[in-house]
Structure 1
Amino acid sequence: MWWKDIYVSASAAWLGRREDVWDAVAEGRYDAAEAARDEYHAVRVADDVHPPDMAVAAARLAVERSAVPTGDFALVAHASVGFQGRDHWVPASYIQARTVAGSATALDIRQASNGGLAALDLAASWLAARSESRAALVTTADRYGLPEFDRYRSDNGLPRGDGAAAMVLSRGERAGTTAVARLLSTVLSGDSTHEGAYRGTRPWGEPRAGRTVPVDLRARTREYLATGATGDAVVAALTAGQQRALKQALDEAEVKADEVARYVFPNGRWWNSDLDADRTTWEWGRQVGHMGAGDQAAAFTHLVETRAVRAGDRVVLSGAGVGMNFGCAVLEMLQIPDWETPGNAAGTWVEESL
């Protein structure tokens, strides 16, 4: 979809403390051969902060940076992958109550690691389709701790990092004068051929309260491959879907691949292997770990905070999620604000009671 007057007014991220992956190897929590192959330096760990509060911290900073009045927000969209602290509950409403409040609609989005881009596309569509809507808040947050998830062993090749990200989208002529970037295009697509690759073949499980072992995505993939599918076919479908979404988004934005200053892929080695490192955010991502739905917004924030992009640069946000679902967004930088990178993650979070 090509967008005419949708803007990114601001963004922000909240990251847990840094944990060196080789410390995890020394403690027997991460296989040494896998660590060498995966090529991460560190992941982020949130010890005592739960995902909704991470999202609140990131959202408050993004809203503050945007200078968009809270009364302008018509949508709060929260994307996540794992457990958010309560079953049968809507984290987006919690985030809304502690940030923009008001009468905005609050929606939770579950599209795995593509959730952040799905939320971005939804927010842009929401604003474009409703002339009275002026702004939307998009958030992501996840924590990958035991006993539910083993950040080093539950999956292959993607050690997980804890954190949150937020973006403020706005529309109209006024928004364009103060925004950080203009949204040129977004694309969402899917290919459910290998939907079972992360589901496996076992019967449906028990409620979360009865879970005593961490999620084992590796076992699910082995089960699926035992049905006759091949790993090469799964990887090929994943790669092809991501590339199709990326090409379509560039075509709709009328931007050529060599005109893109920075590509933001999921925080994983193999996603970033076909481009020079200085055109991706992998050097940052390998210090963070895979955040699930938040890699793209958090990496974009990093680019702006470190002034690694300039006005006029085109930036691509590309993603994929199990299922399989794919997303891509193309942005044009308008100005580089003087944002400071938050120092200590805990310092950006203020506990509040319900």
Structure 2
Amino acid sequence: MKFGNDLRIKTVTSWFPPDRENVEDAVAAGKLEPQDVDRLGLTGLPVSARWSAPEMAVAAGRDAISRAGWSPSKVGVVLHTWIYHQGHDMWSPPHFVANEVGAPHALSYGVQQGCNAAALALQLAALHLDAEPGLGAALVTTGDRFAPPGMDRWTSDYGLGFGDAGTAALLHRGDSGPDDYALLSLATETEAELELMMRHGDDFSPAPMTHNDYIDLRRPKKSYVEAYGKEKFTSIAGRAIRKVIVDGVREAGLRLDDPRIKYIVLPRLGAYLLDANYVPVLDEVLKAEALRFGGDTGHLGCGDFLANLADLRDRVPLEAGDIALVIGGGAAWTWTCAVVQVPQEGGV
């Protein structure tokens, strides 16, 4: 999806709780097997001992609005995303986020697409801005807290550790003020046949935690691989990742060898997963440097995508006119590639 020259990410922010669980402590406590340390490639995970998931999203949203120097009343749409418990049952966290950031009258709703939801929310925010000329800005937030007893942040899934965080991004149609990025395009590919991987071997249940006393994503994945083989997922994922990169670059009006494309930012997955599923595709199609920002945060659920945009701005020497790709993915399964550019004076 091509957005033209004036769709801007005004700013993007991440908010992390101050407490952490380090890898060494997790191994010593028996939460993590020593042989899994290198496969994860982590130093530790941010852990919220106090703040709920939507409260962390609010903190990130407030930071974004403050950073932009805007009144919260400018925000007309709030899109909130998450993959895990938000602190209450049968409740609407998007409305909580909107009210707490100071935009109680904004259209507020949740976006569910697994860990890729923030990328989809950016796309939906762009559609709102296209369809509503009077809309000042859209706020996208994410918030997840992977606390026990429902989650084991070190072992609930293969090849990653779950970190707690809130993230936020403000989108608008460009004006005379400075912006973090121009959003040139978003390309998305869905492979819905892979949804079976997340439930293989389990019947549909009447209530949460029926199959296990905590969320164990390894069990159905193991059952799926035993039935279909690991190569099926690897092949499908490789094709989808390649397609979103190629389509995203093409829809942005660029070539894969454009020298302005400096970086491609990978999801905050374990080192082994990135090396197995992403690196072979990148080596084939793109010359840009691959960046991994998740070594000290782990996987943030929906938060990977926006946190990566924030770290790209803060930790990489980008100049006006430089272009980067940001890759997202989520079960079960969708992948997205965003093409962003540091705005130049007088336009993209």
- Alignment TM-score, normalising by the size of structure 2: 0.89
Q: Deviations over 1:320-353 (max 9, x none)?
A: 11121121211111279xxxxxxxxxxxxxxxxx
Consecutive unaligned residues of structure 2, counting only runs of 5 or more, are: none
Over aligned residue pairs, what C-alpha RMSD do you find?
Answer: 2.2
Q: Does 1:38 align with 2:40?
A: yes
Q: Does 1:239 align with 2:238?
A: yes
Q: Does 1:223 align with 2:233?
A: no
Map residues 145-160 of structure 1 onto 2, 5 A cutoff.
Answer: 145-160=147-162
* Percentage of identical aligned residues: 28
Q: Which residue of the partner structure matches residue 137 of structure 2?
A: 135
Q: Which residue of the partner structure matches residue 13 of structure 2?
A: 12
Q: What one-letter code is carried by the residue in structure 2 that aligns with 1:162? A: D
Displacement of 1:208 in angstroms is 3.5
Q: Which residue of the partner structure matches residue 334 of structure 1?
A: 343
Q: What one-letter code is carried by the residue in structure 1 that aligns with 2:328? A: G
CA contact under 8 A between 1:127 and 1:170: conserved in structure 2?
Answer: yes
Q: Which residue of the partner structure matches residue 310 of structure 2?
A: 301
Distance, in Å, in 1 between the alignment partners of 2:71 and 2:344 is 20
Distance, in Å, in 1 between the alignment partners of 2:295 and 2:279 is 13
Consecutive unaligned residues of structure 1, counting only runs of 5 or more, are: 337-354
Q: Deviations over 1:154-191 (max 9, x none)?
A: 1000111111110000114x2x5321211100122211
Q: Which residue of the partner structure matches residue 89 of structure 1?
A: 91
Q: Deviations over 1:26-77 (max 9, x none)?
A: 2110011111222222221111211000000000000111123322222100
- Alignment TM-score, normalising by the size of structure 1: 0.88
Q: Which residue of the partner structure matches residue 66 of structure 1?
A: 68
Distance, in Å, in 1 between the alignment partners of 2:244 and 2:279 is 18
Distance, in Å, in 1 between the alignment partners of 2:190 and 2:323 is 25
Q: Deviations over 1:224-259 (max 9, x none)?
A: 234x31111112212221221121111101233343
Distance, in Å, in 2 between the alignment partners of 1:123 and 1:100 is 18
Distance, in Å, in 2 between the alignment partners of 1:323 and 1:197 is 7
Distance, in Å, in 2 between the alignment partners of 1:327 and 1:160 is 20
Q: Which residue of the partner structure matches residue 201 of structure 1?
A: 201
Displacement of 1:209 in angstroms is 7.6
Q: Does 1:281 align with 2:282?
A: no
Distance, in Å, in 2 between the alignment partners of 1:330 and 1:165 is 19
Distance, in Å, in 1 between the alignment partners of 2:106 and 2:234 is 39
Displacement of 1:11 in angstroms is 1.0
Q: 1:289 to 1:252 in 2, by over 3 A?
A: same
Q: Secondary structure at the match of 1:177?
A: coil
Q: 1:302 to 1:52 in 2, by over 3 A?
A: same
Q: Secondary structure at the match of 2:21?
A: strand
Q: What one-letter code is carried by the residue in structure 1 that aligns with 2:256? A: A
Q: Secondary structure at the match of 1:164?
A: strand
Q: Which residue of the partner structure matches residue 315 of structure 1?
A: 324
Q: Which residue of the partner structure matches residue 254 of structure 1?
A: 253
CA contact under 8 A between 1:160 and 1:291: conserved in structure 2?
Answer: yes
Please list every run of at least 4 consecutive aligned residues from structure 1 whose deviation after the TM superposition is greater than 4 angstroms.
Answer: 209-212, 274-278
Q: What one-letter code is carried by the residue in structure 1 that aligns with 2:319? A: R
Distance, in Å, in 2 between the alignment partners of 1:154 and 1:209 is 13
